[in-house]
Amino acid sequence: MREEAGKEGAEASGQRPGDLDPATRTSVLRQAWSVGIATGAYGISFGALGVASGLSVAQTCALSLLMFTGGSQFAFVGVIGAGGTGVAAIATATLLGIRNGLYGLQVSEFLHDRGWRRGVAAHLTIDESTAVGIAQPTVRASQLGFWQTGIAVFVFWNLFTLLGAWLGNALGDPRRWGLDAAAAAAFVALLWPRLHSRDAAATAVVAVVLTVAVAPWAPAGIPVLIAAFAAVAVGLWPRAAARDDDSTGGEVAP
C-alpha cells in the first residue's frame, strides 16, 4: 500500500521532506503535533508518580529523556514504588519495551537513515511515532510523520515530566492526593486499547490469576514478571488457523 519504489533521496528524514505536496505535509504535521501534545501532556502524571515512588526529580526526568517509552517508565517506577528490587524493575521495564524492537523492524522499512540519525530514530521509536508513520500513504509522508511525531512527543513528554516531578515534590504525601490510585488508573488506561481481541482478554484473565496467586508470598516486582507467562501460555496455545486474532493494538498508548 505504500509506494516503496522510485523514492530516490529517501535518506532525507522528515525534517527535510523534499517533494511532499503542501496539503499532505500540513496534514501530517497537524497529526504529528496533536498526537505529540496529547501524549506529552500525561508526562505530568508520570513525573508526579516518579517522585511519589521515591525517585528524585533528576532520576524521574532521566527516565523520560533516556528510556523514553511511557509504559516501561510507568512500570519501572511502579515496581520501585512497591518496594521491588532494581533487577525486577529493570526486567519489567525491558519486557514491556520489547514491542519497541518490533516497531523498529516496521519503521526501518521506510526510514532509510544511517549513522547517528539511525540512533536518534531508534530512540524515538515508540507507539505513537510508529502508528503515525505507518499510517501515511507514501514513504515521504511516513518519514515525516515518524520524525515529527517522535520529536513532538519527546519535547512535550519531557517538559511535562519535569513539571509533574516538580509538582509531585511540592505536594508531599502522595496518598493524600490519590497518586497511588492514579498509577492504577494509568496502567488500566494503557491496557484498555490493547484488550480488543479474545487472545488479549484471555491473557488478561490469566495474568490476574497468576498475579493473585503469586503476590501474597513473592517479593515485590516478581508477580509482574511471573504474569508475563500469561502471554506465553495464550500466545503458544494451539488453535485453529482460521481464528487468528490480531492482538497488537495499543497504538494510542505510549
Q: Which of residues 177-206 bind another protein (CB under 8 A)?
A: 177-192, 194-195, 199-200, 203-204, 206
- CB 104 → another protein: shortest distance, Å? 2
- Do 143 and 111 meet the contact criterion of CB atoms below 8 Å apart? yes
Q: What is the DSSP letter of 221?
A: T
And the C-alpha cell for 15?
525534517
Considering only residues 70-89, where is the footprint of another protein by CB under 8 A? 71-72, 74-76, 78, 80, 82-83, 85-87, 89
Considering only residues 28-67, where is the footprint of another protein by CB under 8 A? 38-39, 41-42, 44-45, 54-55, 59, 62-63, 66-67
- CB 129 → another protein: shortest distance, Å? 11
Angle between helices 70-81 and 86-107 (to 10 degrees): 170
Instruction: Give the separation between CA 180 and CA 172, rounded to whole angstroms.
Output: 13
Work out which of 8, 23, 115, 176 binds another protein, going by CB under 8 A: 176
- CB 4 → another protein: shortest distance, Å? 13
The strand pairing partners of 3, in sequence order, are 138
- Do 35 and 152 meet the contact criterion of CB atoms below 8 Å apart? yes
Residue 144 or 224 with smaller CB distance to another protein: 224
Residue 26 or 208 with smaller CB distance to another protein: 208
Considering only residues 98-157, where is the footprint of another protein by CB under 8 A? 98-105, 107-109, 111, 118-119, 121-123, 125
- Do 69 and 92 meet the contact criterion of CB atoms below 8 Å apart? no
Residue 108 or 158 with smaller CB distance to another protein: 108
Instruction: Give the separation between CA 176 and CA 220, rounded to whole angstroms.
Output: 23
- CB 58 → another protein: shortest distance, Å? 9
Alpha carbon of 3 to those of 27, 39, 63, 138, 142: distances in Å? 19, 29, 37, 6, 11
Positive or negative, the CA dihedral 84, 86, 87, 90 is positive
- CB 65 → another protein: shortest distance, Å? 8
Residue 26 or 87 with smaller CB distance to another protein: 87
Residue 18 or 184 with smaller CB distance to another protein: 184
* Choices 4-12, 18-26, 135-143, 210-218 (CB under 8 A): range interacting with another protein: 210-218
- CB 122 → another protein: shortest distance, Å? 4
Instruction: Give the separation between CA 248 and CA 148, rounded to whole angstroms.
Output: 23
- Do 223 and 211 meet the contact criterion of CB atoms below 8 Å apart? yes
Does position 235 bind another protein by CB under 8 A? Answer: yes
